[in-house]
């Protein structure tokens, strides 16, 4: 059932929005929403490499990077809207929520239009001077990047609409809408290639997907929340609130594409496009580890925002549980990538793109495991209204990272870029974990566990990367998996969680798998 809502409200009561079963179900839905696109990407990328060739695929990968970087044009308004709506629901003060949502929508549309104009103007410089594109491909690349400019306002507005859905824990809809986006992004270019080969038709499909997904998000928001169906004018009070709440999120949001995709932008200007294609493919594989944290982060942020004022102890338990679940879920796939990097790359990309890339994949797999664990403190800080802390860290990291990245790429090429990325992610994770107690007093209880899980797991993965021959790597991986399962069951699963799992298992055996667990021992 949808949570009950007051006549002028949007989301409903905090109790309805933070039920343990609802949050657990939304984590599963969020996982499915990320797993389908990730699977499509892993399957389609090798096919696209063969269909388009290394250079055109490199440009398409750069276009994906560019379109993925459009979200920062919302200047943090989408994430601030999620936090503000959930916090209002937590305080039962939703009367002005419709005006807040519409003010955000108009603001996002204006910001997206400005961002699209900037991309249109910059397209010739990106294709002609920044990237090492063959002269014959420059006109095609310019047309493709200008076509991407149309997607900027669509992507920015969609981020705000998704923020409304996530604030109300409507993850069934939010996760389902990731599937058509992935189809247009990965399958669309493959489907259009036999009829219209080239880069421009492939990018046109990506842009069409952004239009369709934006319309679907709008339909879901207006259908779920009747209070939003009547358009409202922009309110100065709402803009002032966004200026405060979104100001620090803006710093993180603008820093994020530089920190996350800065390596690819630097490599695009320093190395041939074919070398960039290799780095983009390896990074695509390693970065999929971050989906584990991405599954929990959108569920956790509005839950923390709704609970922090009224029930901070429960907010602490949620963050602690999310940390443990993230580390336990991310370690096995990271271990597979580290232990079997040469074999995975050869089977996935073939000899052309996999040659010499195994150390890079191992390094990035360790780095993205650490980054995955750090997503939980990041979401907790933003949900608690302390977006200023991650923003300050990111503002310091940007110049340091870019300087290190440029020097490392010039000296060591692709592996230097991977090393700079790994150092940046490790420093960011340490800062976020240490800052947790600044969010609310009870958060100090999870700081030590966050550091131990994040860097203890990273150390195990690093040791596996140094293990040597395949047989040694296999034995090490099996030992870590078995030992991790035993240690996790003994020390990382609480008595309440263990009792809940046993009760669920007994009930499933008793009713042949058809029943439902009606009560959970202990607090959610």
The total of other beta-carbon atoms located within 10 Å of residue 253's CB is 24
pLDDT of residue 344: 86
**92, 314 Cβ separation under 8 angstroms:** no
- Give 442 or 24, the one with higher predicted confidence: 442
Note every long-range contact of 111-114, with CB atoms under 8 Å and residues 24 or more positions apart, other chains counting. 111/73, 111/74, 111/75, 111/77, 111/156, 112/70, 112/73, 112/74, 112/152, 112/153, 112/154, 112/155, 112/156, 112/157, 113/152, 113/153, 114/73
For residues 119-124, average pLDDT: 88
pLDDT per position as a tens digit, 70-110: 665 666 677 777 777 777 776 666 777 888 888 888 888 88
pLDDT per position as a tens digit, 199-249: 889 889 989 998 999 999 999 889 888 888 888 887 777 666 666 655 666
- Give 324 or 489, the one with higher predicted confidence: 324
Question: Which residue, among 374, 507, 495, 478, has the nearest Cα to 435 in the 3D structure?
Answer: 374
pLDDT of residue 366: 93
The total of other beta-carbon atoms located within 10 Å of residue 218's CB is 15
Minimum mean pLDDT range among 135-139, 363-367, 457-461: 135-139
What would the DSSP string read from start to end of 400-465?
Answer: HHHHHHHHHHHHHTHHHHHHHHHHHHHHHHHHHHHHGGGT-GGGHHHHHHHHHHHHHHHHHHHHHH
Minimum mean pLDDT range among 49-58, 217-226, 473-482, 502-511: 502-511
pLDDT of residue 5: 47
pLDDT tier at 178 (50, 70, 90 boundaries)?
confident
**52, 199 Cβ separation under 8 angstroms:** yes
pLDDT at 9 over 60: no
> Burial, 24: exposed, middle or buried (Cβ in 10 Å; 0-12, 13-18, 19+)?
middle
Q: Name the average pLDDT for the chain.
A: 78
Report which listed range, 154-158, 231-235, 284-288, 503-507, is most confident.
Answer: 154-158
Q: How many CA atoms lie within 13 A of 472 on its CB side?
A: 7
pLDDT of residue 292: 76
pLDDT at 429 over 90: yes
For residues 416-433, average pLDDT: 91
**436, 447 Cβ separation under 8 angstroms:** yes
Question: Which residue, among 319, 450, 300, 440, has the nearest Cα to 373 in the 3D structure?
Answer: 450
Dihedral sign, Cα of residue 186, residue 192, residue 197, residue 201: negative
Tokens of 352: 């052309």
Tokens of 208: 């069409």
Phi/psi of residue 89, each to 5°?
A: -65, -40
pLDDT tier at 505 (50, 70, 90 boundaries)?
low
pLDDT tier at 392 (50, 70, 90 boundaries)?
confident
**214, 158 Cβ separation under 8 angstroms:** yes
The total of other beta-carbon atoms located within 10 Å of residue 5's CB is 20
pLDDT at 399 over 70: yes
pLDDT of residue 347: 83
- Give 455 or 382, the one with higher predicted confidence: 455
Minimum mean pLDDT range among 13-17, 309-313, 371-375: 13-17
Cα distance between residue 83 and residue 79, in whole Å:
6
Q: What is the pTM of this model?
A: 0.65
Question: Which residue, among 238, 225, 197, 262, has the nearest Cα to 406 in the 3D structure?
Answer: 262
Cα distance between residue 150 and residue 123, in whole Å:
12
> What distance lies between CA 111 and its chain's CA centroid?
22
Q: How far apart are the first and last CA of the chain?
A: 19
pLDDT per position as a tens digit, 238-295: 666 666 655 666 676 667 667 776 676 677 666 666 677 778 778 878 887 877 777 7
Query: What angle (nearest 5°) sits at the alpha carbon of residue 371, between those of residues 151 and 328?
Result: 115
**151, 210 Cβ separation under 8 angstroms:** yes
pLDDT tier at 4 (50, 70, 90 boundaries)?
very low
pLDDT at 510 over 80: no
Percent of the chain with pLDDT over 70: 76
pLDDT tier at 8 (50, 70, 90 boundaries)?
very low
If you ran DSSP here, which 8-state letter would residue 185 be given? I
pLDDT at 427 over 90: yes
Question: Which residue, among 150, 142, 147, has the nearest Cα to 115 in the 3D structure?
Answer: 150
If you ran DSSP here, which 8-state letter would residue 74 be given? G
pLDDT of residue 496: 66
Runs of H (alpha helix) within 168-311: 171-176, 178-182, 188-192, 199-224, 236-270, 273-287, 291-307
pLDDT at 24 over 70: no
CA dist 438 to 314, 384, 431, Å? 17, 10, 12
Task: State the residue for tokens 């994020």.
Answer: 256
pLDDT of residue 365: 92
pLDDT tier at 455 (50, 70, 90 boundaries)?
very high
pLDDT at 46 over 70: yes
pLDDT of residue 6: 45
pLDDT of residue 214: 92
pLDDT at 409 over 80: yes
Reduce the DSSP state of residue 19 to 3 states and report it: coil
For residues 472-492, average pLDDT: 79
């Amino acid at each position: 059932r949808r949570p009950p809502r007051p006549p002028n409200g949007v989301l409903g009561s905090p109790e309805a929005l933070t039920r343990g079963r609802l949050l657990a179900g939304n984590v599963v839905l969020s996982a499915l929403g990320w797993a389908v696109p990730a699977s499509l990407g892993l399957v389609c990328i090798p096919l696209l490499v063969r269909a388009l060739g290394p250079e055109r695929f490199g440009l398409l990968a750069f276009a994906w990077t560019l379109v993925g970087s459009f979200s920062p044009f919302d200047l943090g308004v989408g994430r601030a809207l999620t936090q503000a709506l959930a916090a209002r629901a937590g305080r039962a003060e939703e009367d002005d929520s419709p005006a807040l949502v519409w003010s955000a929508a108009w603001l996002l549309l204006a910001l997206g239009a400005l961002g699209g104009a900037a991309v249109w103007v910059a397209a010739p410089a990106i294709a002609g001077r920044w990237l090492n594109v063959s002269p014959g491909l420059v006109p095609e690349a310019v047309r493709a990047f200008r076509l991407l400019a149309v997607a900027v306002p669509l992507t920015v507005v969609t981020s705000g609409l998704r923020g409304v859905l996530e604030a109300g824990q409507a993850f069934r809809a939010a996760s389902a809408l990731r599937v058509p986006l992935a189809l247009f992004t990965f399958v669309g270019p493959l489907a259009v290639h036999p009829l219209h080969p080239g880069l421009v038709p492939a990018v046109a499909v990506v842009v069409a997907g952004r239009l369709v997904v934006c319309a679907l998000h709008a339909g879901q928001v207006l259908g779920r929340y009747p209070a939003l169906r009547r358009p409202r004018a922009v309110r100065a009070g709402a803009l002032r609130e966004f200026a405060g709440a979104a100001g620090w999120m803006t710093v993180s949001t603008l820093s994020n594409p530089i920190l996350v995709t800065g390596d690819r932008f630097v490599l695009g200007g320093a190395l041939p496009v074919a070398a960039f294609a290799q780095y983009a493919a390896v990074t695509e594989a390693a970065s999929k580890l971050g989906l584990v944290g991405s599954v929990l982060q959108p569920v956790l942020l509005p839950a923390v925002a709704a609970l922090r004022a009224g029930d901070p102890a429960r907010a602490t338990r949620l963050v602690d549980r999310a940390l443990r679940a993230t580390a336990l879920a991310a370690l096995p796939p990271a271990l597979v990538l580290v232990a079997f990097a040469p074999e995975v790359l050869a089977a996935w990309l073939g000899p052309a793109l996999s040659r010499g890339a195994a150390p890079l994949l191992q390094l990035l797999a360790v780095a993205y495991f650490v980054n995955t664990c750090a997503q939980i403190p990041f979401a907790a800080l933003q949900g608690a209204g302390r977006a200023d802390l991650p923003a300050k860290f990111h503002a310091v990291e940007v110049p340091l990272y870019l300087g290190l990245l440029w020097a490392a790429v010039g000296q060591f090429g692709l592996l230097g870029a991977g090393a700079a990325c790994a150092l940046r992610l490790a420093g960011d994770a340490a800062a976020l974990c240490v800052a947790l107690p600044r969010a609310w007093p009870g958060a100090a209880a999870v700081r030590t566990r966050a550091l131990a899980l994040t860097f203890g797991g990273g150390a195990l993965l690093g040791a596996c990367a140094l293990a040597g021959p395949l047989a040694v790597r296999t034995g090490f991986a099996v030992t870590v998996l078995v030992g991790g399962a035993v240690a996790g069951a003994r020390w990382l699963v609480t008595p309440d969680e263990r009792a809940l799992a046993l009760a669920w298992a007994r009930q499933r055996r008793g009713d042949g798998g058809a029943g439902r667990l009606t009560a959970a021992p202990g607090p959610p």
